[in-house]
Structure 1
């Protein structure tokens, strides 16, 4: 009898686990969200919601200007209230499971985003691996763009996060760690609407694109760096990218273009006679992808000169970035403090409460060693007569 009762009740227990499930047709799937400041210290949340008809209709030749998403907004005295108001404007239940993009408007970023970050990190709905951005102007405007290639602007930013070779990649998880460190400094990709020269397209038929990096100090945006300085930051962040580097050899008006293929960055903190020193050693291997000069790349001395040129170019680029974040912004977005803390815990205790003042005083010693691994199958530039190639 007991065995029979167990068999009868078992299916009941199994089915009871789905009592609170919601059918997909009752969900509003959010693909990206924007957070902006409003008057009277209020905050506006805008969400990009996927339109199911674009995948269920099965029709071809649909007008692309209709888009795959629409945007709804909610305003409140805080982010929690704004989302609550937003829900009243949408008949379906908001679903955040597919939202991996959060964009902060520049005005809000400059006044501080700690409250908004606290909600996003604390609330179980937003994903902890969601990517964060700062927009030039209102963040909500970027959600309304209709890309010519991807389905919606949130998808564009998602792919930039996966494959972008010039922008930093920062998630909610990264921010939650950075804000617990002494410097409380971090960086986010800085984005804006790409202006298109295609006259056949409307102004909103374009994409958001990365134009640099926003620098934050204690939850407030204090400035930004351009794309070239961002590339230097990527090296310091150990995110070796495949961006091109152009070198102009001595006594040449044209350039040799190279692409780093691998590399490593080592940080070695030192304290000598109370002088804090950060030794940064960079190893990089590169391939030549274009030769605009008349030089033969089969000559060893030519390759040696190009390697020195690459070292100087990378050293200048990284030094320029360090000058900006260390001297101008005084924001330790590269983690110097963490490394000194690990090696010199006792000395660190004396400076951790005023690391913002100590960080600009750190003496940075930067060394770069470059090796050209591949110069191509030909020595001189393609389509150049052999007698015009310069051998040395």
Structure 2
């Protein structure tokens, strides 16, 4: 009734053999992956340049893991970074030539930064971006930057012994990490075809009593029609980071502060949260935009003679001073992009498209000329939450 005992015993033995076989295969597959890592070079950053004779220079920083390190990790890794450059008629050809030169298979799976040189950015980088998106397909976390001069010279000048970790940390910075492949793709397909990218630069730091050249971020590049439209200093671009760039985010992810001069000293407030509202309007053929910005901030430094602890009135009175300063920051940014560059990187096109789709459709092809004439009204509300815990002047 229970079946032949001999048959049941054979079935159990077959099951045990299958389980043992699976257990033996699992570690073998791990060894195969480890063997693959020893044949791969991981591109952690890449620089793309255009030459005077219309060639393309591709510079890559390749991370080679130590055989005992077990591959790469997002938080750092044991290994060495090598920098290679190759020239070609196009980026695919330069990459192919580079691959032939190197004994390891190049992988874009861990690419953090893609830096576009100034000449290529000014000429137009549509072909190179198309190749990256269409063929190479680095991960979505790869971030795009622009540099003055050549990306090749910038990458080759880096002698930071911790280049791998530095690049990972820079890619994770709020001022860099949001300018990834998704952002670039959406911006190119957006209403205004204009967007911004961080500017890569270098800085000298002392390490073990000797100067080392380290990668850093300095300013903003304005991109229009996938070409470089101009540069904005940190001061001129502060309005973008403060309000315009990320319309739907309330928290301010990096240290953005505002300093005002008052009563023989300076008072600095650290901006903590903000809410930006764009209200587009079309009346009698006149296009206008109301920009309303609400900001929460904390006082972090006070070298003036104002006693901020004794009375809340002092803090309230300061709010108007900070509102005026923030309004000037926004206006300075608007003057740069609306008047000097004709590049709508502040989200006006999208706002008009959403609220007035029919009128937008009529001016879509002439948006630059319309954007230039839009009357902008700025309203800033600053809420100073904390005054600090000391009135002692140092």
Question: Quick check: TM above 0.5?
Answer: yes
Gaps of 5+ in 1: 58-66, 384-392
1:277 matches 2:285: no
Aligned counterpart, 2:127: 115
* Structure 1 residue 374, shift from structure 2 partner: 0.6
Higher Rg? 2
Aligned counterpart, 1:359: 371
Query: Could you tell me the TM-score, scaled by structure 1's length?
Result: 0.84
1:259 to 270, 273, 276: 270
* Structure 1 residue 192, shift from structure 2 partner: 1.6
How far apart are the structure 2 equivalents of 1:132 and 1:360?
Answer: 27
Aligned counterpart, 1:319: 331
Gaps of 5+ in 2: 1-6, 71-78
Deviations 1:239-270 (A, max 9, x none): 63432211112xx2311111011111111111
Deviations 1:10-30 (A, max 9, x none): 97xx99x99x96610010111
1:163 matches 2:173: yes
Deviations 1:327-358 (A, max 9, x none): 11000112211111111111011100111111
1:232 matches 2:235: no
Aligned counterpart, 1:27: 40
Aligned counterpart, 1:244: 257
Aligned counterpart, 2:74: none
Residue 24 and residue 161 in structure 1: after superposition, are their counterparts in 2 closer, same or farther (change >3 A)? closer
Q: Is the 8 A contact 2:244 2:347 kept in 1?
A: no
* Structure 1 residue 55, shift from structure 2 partner: 6.9
Query: Could you tell me the TM-score, scaled by structure 2's length?
Result: 0.83
Bigger mean CA offset, 22-31 vs 237-246: 237-246
Deviations 1:206-243 (A, max 9, x none): 21222210011101101110001222111211363432
1:173 to 154, 169, 182: 182
Q: Is the 8 A contact 1:291 1:381 kept in 2?
A: no
How far apart are the structure 1 equivalents of 2:388 and 2:68?
Answer: 46
Deviations 1:23-76 (A, max 9, x none): 10010111111101124211011110113349759xxxxxxxxx9311112211
Paired residues in the alignment total 362
Residue 55 and residue 256 in structure 1: after superposition, are their counterparts in 2 closer, same or farther (change >3 A)? farther
Indicate the SS of the match to 1:367: strand
CA RMSD of aligned residues (A): 3.0
Determine which structure has the larger strand proportion and give its number.
2
How far apart are the structure 1 equivalents of 2:169 and 2:228?
Answer: 24
Residue 191 and residue 55 in structure 1: after superposition, are their counterparts in 2 closer, same or farther (change >3 A)? farther
1:308 matches 2:320: yes
Indicate the SS of the match to 1:126: coil
Bigger mean CA offset, 252-261 vs 231-240: 231-240
Deviations 1:248-297 (A, max 9, x none): 12xx2311111011111111111111111111111111111111012110
After superposition, where does 1:1-392 map in structure 2 within 5 Å?
23-53=36-66, 56=69, 68-146=80-158, 148=160, 151-152=162-163, 155-164=165-174, 169-196=178-205, 200-202=209-211, 205-234=212-241, 235-238=243-246, 240=252, 241-249=254-262, 252-298=263-309, 299-378=311-390, 380-382=391-393
How far apart are the structure 1 equivalents of 2:55 and 2:159?
Answer: 30
How far apart are the structure 2 equivalents of 1:228 and 1:199?
Answer: 33
Bigger mean CA offset, 279-288 vs 138-147: 138-147
How far apart are the structure 2 equivalents of 1:38 and 1:332?
Answer: 29
Q: Is the 8 A contact 1:262 1:284 kept in 2?
A: yes
